[in-house]
């Protein structure tokens, strides 16, 4: 009797514990379920208006079509660095999971109403209505970069951290059209990537305020283009030993009605941002080709002409076609003109830029790497490039005169130039001390005020 009571008490206790445990677990899972559902609900509310790649482009186009004087918006272009190796090591599912987590974090970070788009497998675009100032853009970008670095848990308990790069572009009075805006965004992202991981770049931040000098120029520039106030100056590139020019670099100038002759520093960023650089650039190229053809036919002295191409022009899919058409029209060969490309554009990873440079090389243009020396790593990169000229930046030439290491880089470059058969040109030569130094170092060509300033062609008899 006693034993059976003890037994039934035992069973009761056991049953009670079981009931408590089961209901506890049930409540736990219920709460978990509700929380999950709630999170999903909040997310789905946040994500109304989420767009896919095409949707995003269409949306942006529409915004351009309806843009007016008071339109303002900002687009962030966020790329995940080295996504492919991440996918390889964590698997596609885990990677996608991490990208989705990042997207959720962006929804919490960007202002309400931001349109967030998983633009590519490794990139986001974010459209914000706001007219952010520089400080706000840098705050948001910095927070985005931090979000990438907050570890994202995976099932295997390994944590993924994402390195990001961000390009930002704001709509303003200079934004010509959708295509130009997209190019500006890509260039901003490419610039950010060049400066290292976890960086952001705002496209032409200086142009954002409407009270800037540039803004005031903008309307004038439109008129100046119509009035053909742009003109070309020429500056000789000298063979130091022969003391004779081997080439003339063509430089764009703006013959301003009241301010006199302005150099590109005053207006280039504006016509780049508006996209006008493309046709101003082709116009200038044709002027140069006409002047060259006339000079060649009269003198037959082997002197060639060169012209600068801006990174923005290299984003133009029609660039090579345009240049070739002009050459054909005036019966000039591609190997009679040089195109100067700044070193960091030369090694750009933007596909359109790469493709254009390849096509320019294939077409037979003489290629000059301009302003060489600012990024020292590029000596190695010259290996992959067929160029005929490397132009040493003025400050690089100066530094190499009193910095032993930089002097060493110059020596290496000169040796390399002999092997690869390209000409090394020192820029910004202003005195004969520099010329002696260049000769000692084995640099055979120079350009600068010492030989001649950029001047109208008549001044040089060309
Ligand atoms: O980036 P690029 O090398 O194409 O720039 C050429 C610019 O350098 C021109 O605007 C020209 O006026 C300027 N320039 C040319 N020669 C000299 C020089 O000897 N000294 C200085 N300070 N500038 C020069
Ligand atoms: Mn140049």
> Could you tell me which of 248, 249, 256 has the C-alpha nearest to residue 231?
256
Distance of alpha carbon 140 from alpha carbon 65, whole angstroms: 27
Query: Is the CB of residue 220 below 6 angstroms from any atom belonging to ligand 1?
Result: no
How far apart are alpha carbons 86 and 109 in whole angstroms? 24
- Measured distance CA(336)–CA(317) in Å, rounded: 23
Q: Where does CATH 3.20.20.450 sit in the chain?
A: 224-460
| pTM passes above 0.75 | no
pLDDT band of 6, cuts 50, 70, 90? low
Compute the distance from residue 371 Cα to the ligand 2 centre, in Å. 7
Q: How far apart are CA 151 and CA 275, in angstroms?
A: 40
DSSP element (H, E) containing 348? none
Work out the end-to-end distance of the chain between its first and last CA atoms, rounded to an integer number of angstroms: 126
pLDDT in tens, 58-109: 999 999 999 887 888 999 999 999 999 999 988 999 999 999 999 999 999 9
- Rounded to an integer, the average pLDDT of 248-271 is 88
Whole-number pLDDT of residue 393: 94
The two most distant CA atoms of the chain are separated, in Å, by: 130
Ligand 1 binding pocket mutation candidate from 263, 344, 427 (most atoms within 8 A of CB): 427
- How far is Cα 221 from Cα 229, in angstroms, rounded to an integer? 9
Q: What is the pLDDT of residue 208?
A: 47
Between the CA of 437 and the centroid of ligand 1 the distance, in Å, is 19
Answer yes or no: is the C-beta of 308 below 6 A from any ligand 1 atom: yes
What average pLDDT does this structure show over 392-412? Answer: 91
For ligand 2, a single-atom ion, the residues with CB < 5 A are 308, 340, 370
Spatial CB neighbours of 261, under 8 Å, sequence gap ≥ 6? 231, 233, 253, 254, 255
Fold of 53-203: Alpha-Beta Plaits (3.30.70)
Stretch 17-40: mean pLDDT: 75
Q: How high is the pLDDT of residue 157?
A: 72
User: How far is the C-alpha of 184 from the C-alpha of 269, rounded, in Å?
Assistant: 11
CATH 3.30.70.270 domain range(s) in the chain: 53-203
Is 70 exceeded by the pLDDT of residue 155? no
- How large is the angle between the packed helices 2-46 and 92-109, nearest 10 degrees? 70
Residue 184 has pLDDT above 90, yes or no: no
pLDDT mean over 383-390: 86
> Quick check: CB of 370 below 6 Å from ligand 1?
yes
pLDDT band at 365 (very low <50, low <70, confident <90, very high): very high
Burial 22-54 (b: 16+ CB within 10 A, else e): eeeeeeeeeeeeeeeeeeeeeeeebeeebbeee
Q: Looking at the domain that runs over 224-460, which CATH code has it been given?
A: 3.20.20.450
**pLDDT for 281:** 93
Write down the pLDDT at residue 442: 97
Q: What ranges make up the beta strands (E) of 14-148?
A: 74-80, 115-120, 123-128
* SS3 call for 234: strand
């Amino acid at each position: 009797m006693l034993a059976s009571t003890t037994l039934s008490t035992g069973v009761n206790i056991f049953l009670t514990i079981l009931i408590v445990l089961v209901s506890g677990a049930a409540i736990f899972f219920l709460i978990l379920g509700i929380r999950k559902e709630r999170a999903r609900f909040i997310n789905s509310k946040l994500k109304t208006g989420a767009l896919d790649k095409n949707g995003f482009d269409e949306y942006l186009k529409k915004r351009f079509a309806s843009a007016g004087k008071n339109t303002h918006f900002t687009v962030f272009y966020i790329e995940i660095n080295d996504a492919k190796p991440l996918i390889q090591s964590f698997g596609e599912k885990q990677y996608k999971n991490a990208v989705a987590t990042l997207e959720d974090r962006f929804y919490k970070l960007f202002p309400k109403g931001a349109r967030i788009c998983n633009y590519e497998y490794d990139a986001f675009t974010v459209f914000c209505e706001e007219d952010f100032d520089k400080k706000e853009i840098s705050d948001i970008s910095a927070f985005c970069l931090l979000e990438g670095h907050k570890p994202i848990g995976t099932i295997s308990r390994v944590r993924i951290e994402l390195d990001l790069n961000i390009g930002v572009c704001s709509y303003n009075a200079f934004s010509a059209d959708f295509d130009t805006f997209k190019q500006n965004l890509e260039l901003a992202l490419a610039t950010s990537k060049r400066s290292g991981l976890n960086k952001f770049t705002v496209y032409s931040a200086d142009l954002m305020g409407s009270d800037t000098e540039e803004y005031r120029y903008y309307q004038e520039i439109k008129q100046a283009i119509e009035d053909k106030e742009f003109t070309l100056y020429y500056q000789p590139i000298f063979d130091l030993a022969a003391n004779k020019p081997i080439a003339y670099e063509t430089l764009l100038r703006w013959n301003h009605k009241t301010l006199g002759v302005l150099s590109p520093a005053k207006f280039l960023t504006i016509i780049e941002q508006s996209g006008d650089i493309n046709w101003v650039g082709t116009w200038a190229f044709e002027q140069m080709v006409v002047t060259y053809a006339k000079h060649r036919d009269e003198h037959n002295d082997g002197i060639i002409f060169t012209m600068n191409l801006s990174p923005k022009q290299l984003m133009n899919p029609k660039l090579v076609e345009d240049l070739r058409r002009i050459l054909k029209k005036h019966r000039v060969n591609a190997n009679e003109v040089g195109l100067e490309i700044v070193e960091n554009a030369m090694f750009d990873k933007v596909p359109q830029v790469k493709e254009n440079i390849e096509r320019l090389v294939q077409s037979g243009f003489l290629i000059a790497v301009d302003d060489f020396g600012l990024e020292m790593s590029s000596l190695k990169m010259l290996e992959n490039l067929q160029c005929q000229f490397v132009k040493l930046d003025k400050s690089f030439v100066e530094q190499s005169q009193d910095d032993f290491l930089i002097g060493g880089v110059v020596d290496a470059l000169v040796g390399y130039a002999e092997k690869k058969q390209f000409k090394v040109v020192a820029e910004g030569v202003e005195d004969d001390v520099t010329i002696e130094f260049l000769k000692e170092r084995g640099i055979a060509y120079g350009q600068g005020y010492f030989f001649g300033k950029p001047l109208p062609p008549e001044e040089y008899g060309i």
